[in-house]
Amino acid sequence: MKPFAVLIPERIDIEGIINVNPSLFEEDYLRYLINMIVIKQGRMIENHEFQIESYFEKKPYYGSSERYVKIESLKKGSQYQKHKQLCEYLCQDNVMVNRSRTRTKLVSVFERILYIPEKNSFEYRIGAYYRKSKLKIEFIQDQQIIKAIKGNESKCDSELKRGHYKFFQKYFDQNKLQIDLPKAVELCELRHEGHKQYDKYVKEMTQITNLYNGIYRLTFKKNSLGRIYTNLTQLPKAYRRFVSYNDKKLSEMDVSNSVIFFMGILLDNILDKDSIEELFNKDIYNNILNGESSFLLLMFYKSFESLSEREVQLIQQLGRNGTFYDEFVFLFDEYFTFEEMRDLYEEDNEDSYLGIDKQKRKISKKQLLAMLFAKPTQYLKEQEVFKMKFPELLDSINSSKMRLGTKNSHIFFFRLKPVLFWML
């Protein structure tokens, strides 16, 4: 088994800490303790837990390095019975560091929140002297520790182990998925020099090392229309060139403006109501649609039965050639001020808004998609933009939402997408 990569703040000298008290520390377990703080903070960023807490609980926002996290004892063998003692030692000012050429000081490696019964357990973060420093890759060799970490950190929601999701277990061999660690880390450092965002840097370093270590997290979120989230698909595109499966580079297939593309198929006369109903009688499609196809399909066609052929042909054309959102760029310029466009762009992007067409297209896609799946009373200005090209389609979409309810309307569409994709 290959060694296990861990993330250690660059200022932390593992050997130096051990040399001060060699009888207390086991080297790989010390690396485990430090690494767990870093990767748990990285995962919190990935899961957007910071934003959720700040919005719903009105808590102030703290960066990843400021957050306290739990560190579980691996409970593997007698040498790990020192877990609590090790953590306590690391929270004390026991490590000598240089403040200048002639002055030194003692610092702690960890800081912690004290245990309060029925309120919180011990939680830790990296000490102030080491916090927000560049991360370095080190390796754990101890197979017991490696096995325990993988068992604790890997995750597969129970919904993905049964039913029509079982193909994850059948066809995916996690041992065949690899990432070129040195090249991915080099790119991450380069990206950090550009964006200067420490949270983003920690998140990406966590994603890279988890993939290298064979740690996979598959999450099923019912409130996201049955979408499956994995740490592989959440990896930024820039790193995918370094990923391989069974020693073969990965290829990516992305249907440009897929929502519009599949909407065009739905509205096409050659895919009529009877042909779709026949398909839905097959078990695989009924599984995907959870048996709700008949009612939703009938209501869908009722809403769109009078749509003009001109609009159907136009949306099919723009969907096939991938230019749907480009078609609305100039209209957004007419309906939105420069300041409004800037605010819409910069809330989701790192670069400044300059008013170039590429940036305007991103705004067009973001706002039109939001409008398509929102309530008819929302995104009214975006509806005016959409109406300039597709007045009848907009009325039909809003009518469908009124008949089915907004939630049922887009649940139906998202569940129907894999059926249509299967047919292509």
What is the pLDDT, as a whole number, of residue 159?
Answer: 67
How many alpha carbons lie under 13 Å from residue 368 in its C-beta half-sphere? 25
pLDDT digits (tens, 9 = 90+) for 176-213: 889 999 999 999 999 999 988 898 899 999 999 999 99
Is the pLDDT assigned to residue 59 strictly greater than 90?
Answer: no
Is the pLDDT assigned to residue 80 strictly greater than 70?
Answer: no
C-alpha 135: how far from its chain's center? 21
Describe the crossing of helices 198-213 and 143-153 by its angle, rounded to 10 degrees.
120
CA distance 31 to 209: 14
Is the pLDDT assigned to residue 57 strictly greater than 50?
Answer: no
Most confident of 18-27, 114-123, 177-186: 177-186
Write phi, then psi, for 282 (nearest 5 degrees): -75, 145
**Cβ count near 234 (within 10 Å):** 13
CA distance 85 to 402: 62
Residues in the chain: 424
Write phi, then psi, for 123 (nearest 5 degrees): -135, 150
- Residues linked to residue 155 through DSSP beta bridges, in sequence order: 217
CA distance 424 to 418: 10
Higher-confidence residue: 129 or 220?
Answer: 129
**Amino acid making up residue 322:** G
Give the 3-state secondary structure of residue 392: helix
Least confident of 70-74, 193-197, 242-246: 70-74
Q: Exposed, middle or buried: residue 94 (CB in 10 Å: 0-12, 13-18, 19+)?
A: middle
CA distance 208 to 42: 11
Residue with tokens 């430090």: 34
Higher-confidence residue: 162 or 223?
Answer: 162
CA distance 188 to 303: 49
How many alpha carbons lie under 13 Å from residue 34 in its C-beta half-sphere? 31
In 3D space, the residue among 190, 402, 204 whose CA is nearest the CA of residue 303 turns out to be 402
Write phi, then psi, for 313 (nearest 5 degrees): -65, -40
pTM, entire model: 0.67
CA distance 185 to 47: 21
* Contact between residue 110 and residue 91 where contact means Cβ atoms under 8 Å apart: yes
CA distance 55 to 265: 39
CA distance 328 to 360: 9
CA distance 110 to 37: 9
pLDDT digits (tens, 9 = 90+) for 286-341: 444 444 545 555 566 666 777 888 888 898 899 888 889 999 999 999 999 999 99
CA distance 261 to 255: 8
CA distance 289 to 408: 12
Higher-confidence residue: 103 or 155?
Answer: 103
* Contact between residue 324 and residue 318 where contact means Cβ atoms under 8 Å apart: yes
pLDDT digits (tens, 9 = 90+) for 94-113: 998 887 778 889 999 999 98
